[in-house]
Structure 1
């Protein structure tokens, strides 16, 4: 596989990204480079989770992405909430960067600007505005209760939930917003607990002890140094002593 990123949209919602017009990488305009973000809505440790967002602009000079164009092979499939997949290949290894769904799809038809602006959200957005009701639970950990929220909203994708370090004496939902309930449980767990949708679409919950227990926090991921190497700037020794250094400065 060649190095680089790929963007695909599952227009016909059949679970793959291999049909006509679904690989849109070559149509992404440089002026609207792909941007995406997820994690927290600010840098504070107690900030609520951020719904992952993505945005990019496609060239539409051939009107492939125009739903009203009868000659477009995907005209009947272009619709809101189509799945988006962003991946990157580095040294022949494929890494997922984000999965989500289209939120806005705006076609620009001016003579000098035939393009489509697309924004989307990851599946954490499915919890917003979703009212749920549950039975009452006694002395359950936060991870178990987050799993109950996911069950109540009909979450069918993968999930990776820590058990949680906090026991909640009593917990229930009575026509409450699922996202608000999730935020309350994260506050009960305390920092640095977090919930997010991983790049491969897995709902992920980490409790307040995860940085003390997980290998990703205990094992060095990279090394940075200020020591110069042979590929860095050449030695400038000799300045102040009448010399010009090894690179013939001033010479």
Structure 2
């Protein structure tokens, strides 16, 4: 009898389109066991010592690691999604992280593990990115922004308990949003100096998201920590928030920094 997390991991790989043979080779689980799970010949393992969901407790309370939760919330609002298990057993949290940023992938994985220590966190390779994935029955409890459709097509608002966490850990929230939908770049411009045109470079941060609500959460939190920002339009769409003033960039560098 395989344990619950092994069982869920194998089914998740099958849901991603891998063959039974490929899953068996990758996980070491016998093909007979995989076939049995798919046909429900073998019952699901019982959950032993399952951690209580803080939001489902008789008196709901916030996650025990609020700093990591604030960071993970930023990642989720940017490039995260929650999807139901096709057999109705629970939910998958997936955060898409570009292959170019292995440090980000590891930070995301650690944050998920801190919030859901009783569950497995695994990496599902996609073209150009990795989906950092974890299964739980309670992801919608922890991220009530989950819902049908794209985030920018519906209202995104923080629950009171989430806002309290962001207020207490604003830089972690900002960092999660920048790590998902933001970047630090070096801009350049030219100006005349004593009749000679010279080029100069300066760093700036960008955050781009189609959701008006998510951009406002980002800009409001920047304002709360003393970062000056401006809104930039791409064509007629104000999808971008820029941080370019020297003092504000220095603050961002001290608390966020470039992806790695």
What TM-score comes out, normalization by structure 1 length? 0.23
Structure of greater Rg: 1
The structure with the largest helix share of the pair is 2
What TM-score comes out, normalization by structure 2 length? 0.22
